[in-house]
Amino acid sequence: MTTRTGPRLPVLAAGGLALLAGLYAALLLLGLPLPTPRASLEQVHGPLMVLGFVGTLIALERAVALGTRWALSAPACSGAGALALLLTGPSLAARLLLMLAAVLLLLVYRQLWRRQPGPSLLAQGLGAFAWYAATLLWLAGATVPEVVPWLATFVVATIAGERLELAHLALPPHGIRWFLAALGALTAGATASVLWPDAGAHLFGLGLLAVVGWLVAHDVARRTVHGRGLPRYVAVGLLTGYAWLAVAGLLWAGAGPVTAGPRYDATLHATFLGFTMSMIFVHAPVILPAVLRRPLPYRPWLYVPLALLHGSLLVRLLVGDGLAVEPVWRWAGVANVLAVLTFLGCASAGTLTGARRRPTVAPVPAVR
């Protein structure tokens, strides 16, 4: 086992670069007059954000939980794949690296399963498999919009599995059955979206709604939202994120498949901004100390980027997408990017001030 943070820093830096590149690509997609890189970033905005950034973070956290050097190869491959996307666009090498990262992450979960099998780890393993399926389909010629259900399954199953880990002791047997049935519907919908896109999209949306229903019914956030400090901050981010995931589920279940236009924009960003980015914002004070062994103490100012993220996303979906007001859509999208950058600034400031106050940090369990 290893506790050294040195090998983790380049991996985390690659994930951070993927995030910044993905945000720059978002500004290009919003139509801002910015210099266009030689490799067309707009084509790989989604993979950069979901696999290059989120995938690298999740794989790095799981590697730290396993505690072996070889496990770092999973986030290293996803980070390298993100850099390849940045330099060469959706090249064969970039897609192969991202697929290899998913395979290595599955091996990490296999080792973790040997230590402590259970439904929460099964869900996280399903998330890694969804990552693998998305990259495999991408290699086979599918477009990024066509593999979005698998990318969504990756983040939703992973996060749901980690939330189950916290609620497991208090769950009645029917709660576990509901959780597994919801994951089954989600996986069936993602699979069907490839074979029968129309029916598959409706089923996938119902699966998302079933997962949201389970999360709202059983997540400890329902109790901790009445607390103070970090527990309340985490609960607020979780519950608002679940609301956005419900919006995405309703759009998929009610309207069926879509790969372009305002409804696609709304569905995509409700899932990957409203839900996924909110999860990252509120879990960072727990995850970063576990990964970097540097404290990120809770400060009330962390609510600022969280409020900006959800407020600007609400305007983007209701006015920009719903009413087709393009200037509002564009500037709300810019505010989305600003929210993420503001959070990065707050997190960096918190880490620096926390490190000065507490020079040494005990290992923190990787609980989200």
Domain that holds residue 47: 1-117
1 in a structural domain: yes
Angle among Cα 220, 298, 18 to the nearest 5 degrees reads 90
280 in a structural domain: no
More confident position, 236 or 355: 236
Alpha-carbon distances of 302 from 230, 233, 283, 346, 348, rounded to whole Å: 10, 8, 11, 7, 11
**In 3-state terms, what secondary structure has residue 68?**
coil
The whole-angstrom separation of Cα 346 and Cα 82 is 24
Could you report the per-residue pLDDT of 37-73, keeping only the tens digit for each? 866 788 899 999 999 999 999 999 999 999 899 999 9
- Cα end-to-end distance, the chain, whole Å: 22
7 in a structural domain: yes
243 in a structural domain: no
Could you report the per-residue pLDDT of 146-157, keeping only the tens digit for each? 999 999 999 999
82 in a structural domain: yes
Query: How much is the pTM?
Result: 0.92
- The pLDDT value given to residue 360: 43
pLDDT(180) > 50:
yes
Alpha-carbon distances of 365 from 65, 77, 227, 231, rounded to whole Å: 8, 24, 21, 15
44 in a structural domain: yes
DSSP 36: P
- The pLDDT value given to residue 368: 41
Could you report the per-residue pLDDT of 231-253, keeping only the tens digit for each? 999 999 999 999 999 999 999 99
Could you report the per-residue pLDDT of 319-354, keeping only the tens digit for each? 999 999 999 999 999 999 999 999 999 888 877 776
pLDDT(27) > 80:
yes
Short-list 59, 53, 57, CA closest to 74 = 59
DSSP 144: T
pLDDT(1) > 50:
no
- The pLDDT value given to residue 356: 57
> Average of pLDDT values for 111-138?
95
- The pLDDT value given to residue 357: 56
Short-list 218, 215, 187, CA closest to 203 = 187
Tally of domains in the chain: 1
pLDDT(365) > 50:
no
Half-sphere exposure of 304 (CA within 13 A, CB side): 13
Q: What is the mean pLDDT of the chain?
A: 90
- The pLDDT value given to residue 171: 73
> Average of pLDDT values for 206-225?
92
Half-sphere exposure of 200 (CA within 13 A, CB side): 18
Say what angle helices 261-269 and 229-255 make with each other, to 10 degrees: 150
Helices (H), 168-272: 173-195, 197-218, 221-224, 229-255, 261-269
User: Are 167 and 177 spatial neighbours (Cβ–Cβ below 8 Å)?
Assistant: no
pLDDT(168) > 80:
no
98 in a structural domain: yes
- The pLDDT value given to residue 36: 83
Q: How confident is the model at residue 223 (pLDDT cuts 50, 70, 90)?
A: confident
48 in a structural domain: yes
